[in-house]
Structure 1
C-alpha cells in the first residue's frame, strides 16, 4: 500500500513529494533566484509539509545541489553523444542554443551563493570542468593538435555567451558560434576543408 502524507493544506498526497519539491525548486529558482526562495514558499508550491521536505533533503543546501544535478547529469549528452554529427559538428552544436531557452543554472547558482564550498558551488564547478573535458575529448576525436587548449577555449566561450546573454537580455550565442567556428577551423584546417567540400558536393 502506498504510504501517504499530508500537505500543508491538509490534502492527502502520495509518494511523489520528492519530485514535486524538485519541480517547484526548478520553477522558483529559475523565476526568482535561489536566495529569494525560502523553504516555506517551496513547500507551499510543492504541496508538502516542511517536515516532509526535510525528510527528503537535509536542508536547502542539499536541495539546491540536487536541483543542479537534475539539469544534465550526463553532461550535454544531446550534443556530444549524437552519432549523426561529425566531431567538428558536435563542437559547434554546443553553441546551438534555442533563443529564449533558460540560461545556465550553474553560473546563476555560483554567482548567487558566493561560497565556493557550498555543495551546489562544488557541483557547478565539477560540471563546468566536465564540459571542458567533453569538448577536449571531441576536439581530440576531430584531430586537434592541442585538444585541451581548444576545449578550454570553447568552454570559456560558452560561459561567456551565457553570462552576456543574461546580463544584456540579448542572445549572444550566434556571435559566440561564429567565433567558435573560427577557432575550430584554425585548429582543424583539414576538418574545415572537408566540411566545405561536403557542402559543395551535390547529393
Structure 2
C-alpha cells in the first residue's frame, strides 16, 4: 500500500480519497441538497484537499453524476432479479418502499439543477427510463396486453408517490401500491395469471425508485 501523502492543508489523500469524497457527497447532497453543498465543505468532510478532489473528479458536475450512479447501478435488482416472486409480484414489490426512505435522489437532483443537459440530469433521465423498461419487461412476463404502457403508468405512480411522501411527510406508497394492483389486474388477462390478492410482497433491503 502506498504511503498517504499530505495535501496543502494537511488533508489525507491516497487510495481511499475517491471513496471518502463519494461518501461525503452521499451524506451532504441528501441532507442539504446539491446546490447548497460546496466543494470546500465536501473536501473538509472527506478529509482531502481540493487539489486531491480535482485529481479524482474534473469538477462538481462530474461528482454529482457519479453520486447518482452509485445509488442503484443495476436498476432495482433487489426487485426485478428476484426468482422467488412471480412477474406480477415483482411489479407490486417495486412499491414496497420504507416510509423513512428520503426523496428519490434522481428526482431531487434533477429538480435542483434546472438544466436538462447537465450530465447528472441526463443520467437521472436515463435511470428513470430504465426503471420504466424493467417494469415493462416484468409486465410482459406477466402477460400484459400493452406492457410498455403499464410500465410507464407504474413508473409514474412510483415517482408521484415519492414526491407526495416528501411533500406531505406521510407515506403515500401503500395507496400507490393499491392503485398499481388495479392497473396491473386490468392490464393482465385472468388467463395469464394476473389476478391475485393485490398485497405487496415483502422485499429485502431498500429498493430505489
The TM-score range, normalised by the shorter chain, is: over 0.9
Report what 2:171 is aligned to. Answer: 171
After superposition, give the CA deviation of every residue in 1:24-76 in whole Å (9 maximum; x if it has no partner): 00000000000000000000000000000000000000000000000001100
Measured at CA, do residues 79 and 8 of structure 1 come closer, stay the same or move farther in structure 2, by a change above 3 Å? farther
Report what 1:36 is aligned to. Answer: 36
Whole-Å Cα distance in 2 between the matches of residues 110 and 11 of structure 1? 31
- Is 2:68 the partner of 1:68? yes
Give the TM-score normalised by structure 2: 0.89
Whole-Å Cα distance in 2 between the matches of residues 105 and 11 of structure 1? 29
After superposition, give the CA deviation of every residue in 1:110-149 in whole Å (9 maximum; x if it has no partner): 1000000000000000000000000001000000000000
User: Does structure 2 retain, via aligned residues, the 8 Å contact 1:164–1:172?
Assistant: yes
Whole-Å Cα distance in 2 between the matches of residues 69 and 98 of structure 1? 21
User: Does structure 2 retain, via aligned residues, the 8 Å contact 1:131–1:155?
Assistant: yes
Following superposition, the deviation at residue 168 of structure 1 comes to 1.2
What is the count of residue pairs matched by the alignment? 195
Following superposition, the deviation at residue 2 of structure 1 comes to 1.1
The within-5 A match list for 1:175-186 is 175-186=175-186
Whole-Å Cα distance in 2 between the matches of residues 108 and 131 of structure 1? 16
Whole-Å Cα distance in 1 between the matches of residues 172 and 77 of structure 2? 22
CA RMSD after TM alignment: 1.4
Runs of 4+ in 1 over 6 A off after TM superposition: none
The within-5 A match list for 1:80-159 is 80-159=80-159
Q: Which moved more, 1:19-28 or 1:161-170?
A: 161-170
Whole-Å Cα distance in 1 between the matches of residues 8 and 44 of structure 2? 7
After superposition, give the CA deviation of every residue in 1:66-101 in whole Å (9 maximum; x if it has no partner): 000000011000000000000000000000001201
Measured at CA, do residues 10 and 152 of structure 1 come closer, stay the same or move farther in structure 2, by a change above 3 Å? same
Report what 1:160 is aligned to. Answer: 160
Task: Structure 2: give runs of 5+ residues left out of the alignment.
Answer: 198-209
Measured at CA, do residues 10 and 137 of structure 1 come closer, stay the same or move farther in structure 2, by a change above 3 Å? same
Measured at CA, do residues 105 and 86 of structure 1 come closer, stay the same or move farther in structure 2, by a change above 3 Å? same
Whole-Å Cα distance in 2 between the matches of residues 113 and 96 of structure 1? 28
Task: Structure 1: give runs of 5+ residues left out of the alignment.
Answer: 197-203
Report what 2:50 is aligned to. Answer: 50
User: Does structure 2 retain, via aligned residues, the 8 Å contact 1:103–1:166?
Assistant: yes
